[in-house]
A and B are shown apart, each in its own frame.
Chain A
């Protein structure tokens, strides 16, 4: 993982009310740890456990402490602090940045940012942003929809009908997450989250229609920015070499960013209401997760009956 200060600034500009205070030329500096640090003890001269690889947050306490020092003392402490090669400094509560910090930041090539948030909120929100920026990520060729709270990625070769299926699902009240290309990332709790590439977000390409903007046509409820990935549905043309699951016992799965995701393979036949089948597949998966496995339960009932008769 290596996030540049520029990336952090960009991601935090709105949610953290973040802006650049000094060191514009050093924004390419990298942050190597996602946690944040309040450098109170370091400023007091105790460097033994100083987490210098983290973003350094100056809150009210740090500012008040620096203020309490004499001019030369303050200069020395801030210099010692910068000598530890920190990635960047953030001053919270929109407080003014000490001129010594600005000067030394420039000298040691460290960008200084300023946030209008209070420190505790800043740390909470910035931690989430850093986690997202450092999360393992990949792109998959597939369309993702949210079917009643179940995140479903549709994949299959071009022209098989992924987008058309998603369109029908949207018309039935489900929501689009991403069309054709889904960005997947693993969050800190180990879930895989899908979202769209920002530039094409909420757009779809439907053959014969061209590019459409989904929320304009179907309303804001027809899209959502991101969704946990629960299942991958593979669409394929009927092929005697591919054995379709006829009972629902065999649970295929695939590792995505190190997380096991169930895979359902569906043959696409002319006239088949694919959207409906995908909808039922999602519901059936939810049922299984709740502990009801229809295929297994039927089979157990059957076996019990057969055992009685056979005896």
Chain B
């Protein structure tokens, strides 16, 4: 795992970040829509992984299938020129609890 992280860190166009869902109801429809809208502002490919399931961060249905409840850790993996900005924007959204609660 560490090795993989290092390999990815070597490529500046790849950003990996673990985010913990803290809002009470987790990733239900509205947060998923906000997440997708934010992710779609960027051109990079963004994947979200939970328990071995990987979906596109630009797909609402995909995010809903992850069933991300409060306390879930999502691994965000962005690849592309604006990967850093994209991950920062998603991190802010998750940390601000999708402007809920």
User: Taking beta carbons and an 8 Å cutoff, which residues of A are in contact with B?
Assistant: 139, 141, 157-159, 179-181, 197, 199-200, 203-205, 210-211
User: How far is B60's CA from A181's CA once the two chains are assembled, in angstroms?
Assistant: 10
The stretch among B18-26, B50-58, B87-95 that forms the contact with chain A is: B50-58
User: How far is B54's CA from A236's CA once the two chains are assembled, in angstroms?
Assistant: 21
Shortest Cβ gap from A185 to chain B (Å): 14
User: How far is B61's CA from A139's CA once the two chains are assembled, in angstroms?
Assistant: 13
Shortest Cβ gap from B100 to chain A (Å): 18
Q: With A141-B55, A158-B56 in contact, do A203 and B61 touch (Cβ < 8 Å)?
A: yes
Shortest Cβ gap from B38 to chain A (Å): 13
B65 and A200 contacting across the interface, CB-CB below 8 Å: yes
User: How far is B65's CA from A180's CA once the two chains are assembled, in angstroms?
Assistant: 10
User: How far is B60's CA from A158's CA once the two chains are assembled, in angstroms?
Assistant: 10
B65 and A141 contacting across the interface, CB-CB below 8 Å: no
B61 and A179 contacting across the interface, CB-CB below 8 Å: yes
User: How far is B40's CA from A72's CA once the two chains are assembled, in angstroms?
Assistant: 71
B61 and A205 contacting across the interface, CB-CB below 8 Å: yes
Q: Which residue on chain B has the smallest CB distance to residue A141?
A: B56
In the assembled complex, B29 has its CB within 8 A of some CB on chain A: yes
User: How far is B59's CA from A179's CA once the two chains are assembled, in angstroms?
Assistant: 10
User: How far is B59's CA from A210's CA once the two chains are assembled, in angstroms?
Assistant: 12
Question: Which of B40, B54, B59, B67 contacts A180 (CB under 8 A)?
Answer: B59
Q: Which residue on chain B has the smallest CB distance to residue A178?
A: B61
A181 and B61 contacting across the interface, CB-CB below 8 Å: yes
The count of chain B contact residues (Cβ–Cβ below 8 Å) is 16
Question: Which of A141, A159, A199, A210 contacts B64 (CB under 8 A)?
Answer: A199
Shortest Cβ gap from B69 to chain A (Å): 12
User: Taking beta carbons and an 8 Å cutoff, which residues of B are in contact with A?
Assistant: 29, 33, 40, 45, 53-56, 58-62, 64-65, 67
A199 and B58 contacting across the interface, CB-CB below 8 Å: no
Q: With A141-B55, A199-B67, A211-B29 in contact, do A205 and B40 touch (Cβ < 8 Å)?
A: no
Q: With A139-B53, A211-B29 in contact, do A204 and B59 touch (Cβ < 8 Å)?
A: no
User: How far is B59's CA from A197's CA once the two chains are assembled, in angstroms?
Assistant: 14
User: How far is B37's CA from A245's CA once the two chains are assembled, in angstroms?
Assistant: 35
Q: With A139-B53, A211-B29 in contact, do A180 and B62 touch (Cβ < 8 Å)?
A: yes
Shortest Cβ gap from A184 to chain B (Å): 13
User: How far is B45's CA from A158's CA once the two chains are assembled, in angstroms?
Assistant: 9
Contacts of A210 in B (CB 8 A): 33
User: How far is B60's CA from A203's CA once the two chains are assembled, in angstroms?
Assistant: 11
Q: Which residue on chain B has the smallest CB distance to residue A180?
A: B61
Q: With A141-B56, A199-B67 in contact, do A158 and B61 touch (Cβ < 8 Å)?
A: no
Contacts of B60 in A (CB 8 A): 180, 205, 211
A158 and B59 contacting across the interface, CB-CB below 8 Å: yes
B40 and A181 contacting across the interface, CB-CB below 8 Å: no
6 A-B pairs with C-beta separation under 8 A: A139-B54, A141-B62, A181-B65, A203-B61, A210-B33, A211-B60
Shortest Cβ gap from A210 to chain B (Å): 8
Q: With A200-B64, A200-B65 in contact, do A181 and B59 touch (Cβ < 8 Å)?
A: yes
Contacts of A211 in B (CB 8 A): 29, 60-61
